[in-house]
Structure 1
Amino acid sequence: MEKTHSAGVNRSGELKHLRLRRQLQELAQGLKPGEALPGERQLEEMFGVSRITVRRAISDLVRDGELVREKGKGTFVSHGMVRSVLHLASFNDDMRAAGFQPSTRVITAELCEPPDAAASHLRLAENAPAYRLRRLRLANNAPVSVDESWLPPALLPNLLAEDLTGSLYRVLSASGHPVRRVEQTVQASAASADIAQLLDIALGAPVLLFHRRSFTGPEEPGTPIEYSISTYRSDRYQISMTLAQ
């Protein structure tokens, strides 16, 4: 007789939303760019999963640029997005390498409910809290980016007692969980009212939006340690890469 398995996990131990993510990718591949996916309720019925599982899987694909969500209209197949693999370095290291003096102002450091994408990456139980760390990053005292990081309390029980005005990567390393690998996407966006005020730019000004999923641990694929969204002033930050065949 087969053993029963806990809700949300299939027989291989894979989370249901990851299985659904693959199914939605296959569904999207059968559609043209700009075509709409079925609504959330229909997807629930099609794949026999909960609404939160549907939303998490869609959030993953929206974040990765495969789907586009339009408020009040639905979810559509993306027309595509250019991605670049960037080097693994902290903001402080980046700024110092460029000849600037980095500094950080902590806006928010709290324990609260994370958004779906962060909860999914960190593999949190439903309704479990996470640390939210929101910081303004500066170079030579001029605002460059707003970073919002979500981190797992189970691995970092003393995080809020740490000095969070320096390198978060160094804090993670000192806690025994150094960042070993990241998956990152970059896209163009427009500054919201909140971001515009913090970065001292006009409402709707162009910004660069970085979504980063970080992992710790010596073995692949690693243990999720951080989910972050960083918003950079496009007139103060330039992406540089070296490509080879």
Structure 2
Amino acid sequence: MNRLSSDVRLPLYQRLRDQLAEQIANNRWRPGEAIPTEAALSSEYCLSTGTVRKAIDMLVNENILERQQGRGTFIRRPQFQSSLFRFFRFQSVSGERQVPESRILSIEPVTAPSAVSQALGLPLDAPVIRMIRLRLLDAQPVLAEEIWLPQVQFQTLLDTDLSRHGPLLYPIYEELCGQVVAYAEETLTAESINEVHARLLQVPVNSAVVVIERLARNYAGEPLEWRRSRGHASHFRYSVDIR
């Protein structure tokens, strides 16, 4: 029998939700894998099926789990690539959507600046990894990304030739470091670009660029990655369905 380890002042379903989220973050079940049935979890934790169902409902509403009719409840694997196209339109001359090429320019261990330590929930000057990545279309830079990671969890990346892996970072985090990104919060702003990023994007200094700031978290809600993606304003688009 498993025991709930979170705050005893919380309702049982909330404590079970926290326990399951922690186990998911610790890879008890992998993304795409089914969790035990409600009956099995009821037996494991000595809780009513109603309590278990409420805990699972919370995780479903948070997009950590997903129910599949007739099959069970599974760890949801989010699709982050689509977010790129929510804000930027990358098309060929014929109008076909294109996925930009990914090129990592640098990856190095540094101490966390104040903004980074605050975003990642780390002490000031904690060891972090700073990655600079370009996204290109037809060899022309369209996005410049500055990516920050806690070094303790992602040390393996410093000893790896990332060019031998695919263009998507989150599968690399999972495969090499055992760190699974479950969800992310994104903020959209605009700014005048400084000299460093203007050189990367090959635009004049002080040009207007769109900035997507993303904080990615694991299934337990712990920050894993903070990135700022700067893109050409000419590629920017915003669309929303209002019903």
Distance in 2 of aligned mates of 1:209 and 1:117:
16
Structure 1 counterpart of 2:182, one-letter code:
R
SS in 2 for 1:118: helix
Q: Which residue of 2 aligns with 1:122?
A: 120
Superposition TM-score, scaled by structure 1 size = 0.56
Q: What is the aligned partner in structure 2 of residue 168 from structure 1? A: 169
Structure 1 unaligned blocks of 5 or more: 1-86
Looking at structure 2, the residues matched to 108 and 138 of structure 1 have their Cα atoms a distance apart, in angstroms, of 16
Counterpart mapping for 1:123-142 below 5 A: 123-142=121-140
Distance 1:228 1:93, change over 3 A: closer
Secondary structure class of the residue paired with 1:178: coil
Structure 2 unaligned runs (5+)?
1-77
> What is the letter of the counterpart of residue 152 of structure 1?
P
Residue of structure 2 equivalent to 1:60 = none
What secondary structure does 1:170 align onto? helix
1:230 aligns to 2:229 (yes or no): yes
After superposition, residues 59-98 of structure 1 pair within 5 angstroms as 89-90=80-81, 94=85
**Cα distance in 2, alignment partners of residues 167 and 93 from structure 1:** 12
Aligned to 2:33: none
Equivalent residues of 2:114, 2:124 under 8 A apart = no
Q: How many residues align?
A: 155
Q: Distance in 1 between matches of 2:178 and 2:140?
A: 32
**In 2, Cα distance between the equivalents of 1:110 and 1:136?**
16
Between the aligned partners of 1:88 and 1:96, the Cα distance in structure 2 is 20
8 A contact 1:192–1:203 mirrored in 2? yes
2:97 counterpart of 1:99 = yes
The percentage of counterpart residues that share the same residue type is 26
Q: Say which one has the larger Rg.
A: 2
What amino acid sits opposite 2:226 in the alignment?
Answer: Y
Question: Do the aligned residues in 2 keep the contact of 1:209 with 1:229 (CA within 8 Å)?
Answer: yes
Structure 2-normalised TM-score? 0.56
Query: Which of 181, 184, 191 lines up with 1:182 in the alignment?
Result: 184
C-alpha RMSD of matched pairs (Å): 2.7
